[in-house]
Chain A
Amino acid sequence: MHWNIKKKIMARPIKETPILYGEDARRFEARMQERRRISSEERARINTNYELVLGMLKRGEELKRQRHAATV
C-alpha cells in the first residue's frame, strides 16, 4: 500500500497482489496454458452487458462535460 494513502485511510486498504512462488506459481502457469473458453451464450451476454454499461458511461461522461461547460 502506498504510504501516502496508508497514513490517511481508516477502511481496510486494497490488498497488493503478491508475487507467486512454488506451487501457487506452478498452478497459475498451468491454468494459463489450459484452454477454457466461455460458451457462445455467455459471450453474447457479456457483450450485451458491456454495451449496456458502456452506453450509460458515455451518457454520464457527456452530461458531466455539458455541466462543466455550462459552469466555465
Chain B
Amino acid sequence: MQQQYDEIFSPLIVVKLEVEDTVKSFDCGDDDLNDFILHESQLYRKEKLAVTYVLKEVGDMANEHIKAFFSLSNDRISISDFDNKTKYNRFSRRFNNRKRLKSYPAAKIGRFAVDANMKGKNIGSILLDFIKRYFTADNKTGCRFITVDAYAAAIPFYLHNGFVPLNEEDVDDPTRLLYFDLNDLDEEE
C-alpha cells in the first residue's frame, strides 16, 4: 500500500492558486465543477471569498493537467432559539441588538473534485483527511466544524467520511450542506 502511495504521490505537489493563475484543463465528469475550476475559482480568489488548492505534477507549471482541487473559505454555523425564520426575523426587527444566535466557527469546502483519470486511487479521501487535520493542527484561529456544499453524487462519500447533513431543507437540492465536527478527532481523555 505504502509503495502504491509513493508511486502515485511522489511526483505530485499541492499549490494554492493565485489570482493570476489559470487552470487549462480539468475533467471530473461534472460540467458545473469543471466550469468552477476552469473559469470561476479566480473570481472567488480575487474577491477573497475562497482559496483554491490544486493537486498536480511537479512539472505542470501552467496547470495543464491538474489531478484534483478543493476550495476553502471561512464559514460559521449559527443556531437560533426560534422555531423558524419568520419568528426570528420578527424578533430581530424589534430587538435589533439581541439576536439570540449562537455561532460556531467553521471552514467550508466550497468545491472539491478529482479528475476522472485519477478516480479509484483514494485521492478524495486523502485530501479530505488533510483538510480535517489542517484546521486542527497549528490552527491560527478557532475552527470547530468543516462544512461542505456537497453535490448530490458526492454525498455518500462525505457520509462515509463522518459528515452529517446540517438540516432537512435541502434534501432534494442539487447540492446539500453537510458538516463534520472537528472535536471527533480529539484523543480520548
Give the B-binding residues of A (Cβ under 8 A): 2, 4-5, 8-12, 14-15, 17-22, 24-25, 28-29, 31-32, 36-38, 43, 45-47, 49-50, 52-54, 56-57, 59-61, 63-64, 67
Contacts and interface: CB of A to CB of B under 8 A. Distances in A.
Contacts of B39: 10-11
- 7 closest pairs, A vs B, by CB? A60-B13, A50-B133, A53-B130, A49-B129, A14-B110, A60-B15, A24-B167
Interface string B114-131: 000000000001110110
13 contacts: A11-B33, A14-B149, A15-B170, A25-B79, A25-B80, A28-B166, A32-B181, A49-B129, A53-B127, A56-B9, A59-B13, A60-B13, A61-B16
A60 B63 CA distance: 12
Nearest to B85: A21
B76 A17 contact: yes
Given A8-B40, A28-B79, A56-B9, 18 more contacts: A5-B44, A5-B47, A8-B43, A9-B40, A12-B32, A14-B111, A17-B106, A20-B79, A21-B79, A31-B164, A36-B181, A37-B187, A43-B185, A43-B187, A50-B134, A52-B9, A53-B127, A57-B14
Contacts, number: 148
A2 B77 CA distance: 18
B130 to A, nearest CB: 4
Given A11-B32, A38-B185, A60-B13, A22 B43 contact: no
With a 10 A CB-CB cut-off, give which of A17, A45, A61 has the most chain B CB atoms.
Answer: A17
Contact of A56 (B12, B87, B181): B12
Interface of B: 5, 9, 12-16, 32-33, 35-36, 39-40, 43-44, 47, 49-50, 53, 55, 58, 61, 71, 73, 75-85, 87-88, 101, 106, 108, 110-111, 125-127, 129-130, 132-134, 137, 147, 149, 162, 164, 166-170, 174-175, 177, 181, 183-188
A50 B129 contact: yes
Contacts of B32: 11-12
Contact of B175 (A15, A38, A56, A59): A15
